[in-house]
Amino acid sequence: MRGMFLLHLTVLLLETQNFILSSIETMLKLISVSILLLLTAFSTINFGGTVISVSDGDTITVLKADKTSVKIRLEGIDCPEGKQDFGTRAKQATSQLCYGKKVRVRKSGEDRYGRTLAMVYVGDLCLNKELLRQGMAWHYKKYNKDPKLARLENKARAAKIGLWAMGNAVAPWEFRRVKK
């Protein structure tokens, strides 16, 4: 009787050990797949390259290392349109800050035109924030709720920097609406 009990106990322990090993193996596979997915997602969201074109104050084109180009709409800001007061100055400011330079792109999504929405960095300088700081853009509150961007616009307004030196600055979305 004691022998049967030990036999059953041994079988039960072996089955438990196999179950635990199988569970650990499955868990390791899941962790490996999760890490791979995270690394893949991270590499597609963040990338570097060189700015090869500045379309306007808030739209640039970046050439990646693999020689593909990506049109970037600067997240959270809206610069004056080309035919609007300060439109040319905003484009010039963007060009001076990033044209021909290496940048890091932190993608946040895509706009309705298929452009990559992103925060763009030239070294440690965030291009989006710098344009607000220089008074070359509005914080695009309709699509972005970042309080830091709102504060930067408010500081530039209060100091009457850039387009805020004009008393009658018209927001680009208003300019586009009236133009239609």
Average pLDDT, the chain: 88
From residue 79, give the alpha-carbon distance in Å to each of 8, 92, 151, 171: 77, 11, 16, 8
Using pLDDT thresholds of 50, 70 and 90, give the confidence band for residue 43.
Answer: very low
pLDDT value of position 24: 78
pLDDT value of position 8: 65
Express each pLDDT in 128-173 by its tens digit: 999 999 999 999 999 999 999 999 999 999 999 999 998 889 899 9
The Cα 137–Cα 4 span in angstroms is: 83
Using pLDDT thresholds of 50, 70 and 90, give the confidence band for residue 49.
Answer: very high
Q: What angle do CA 118, 121, 124 make, to 5 degrees?
A: 145
Q: Which domains can be identified in the chain, with CATH numbers?
A: 45-179 (2.40.50.90)
Q: What angle do CA 129, 161, 165 make, to 5 degrees?
A: 135
Nearest in space to 73 (alpha carbons), one of 91, 57, 86, 93? 57
Predicted TM-score (pTM) of this structure = 0.75
Distance of CA 80 to the CA centre of its chain: 21
Which residues are identified as catalytic? 73, 81, 115
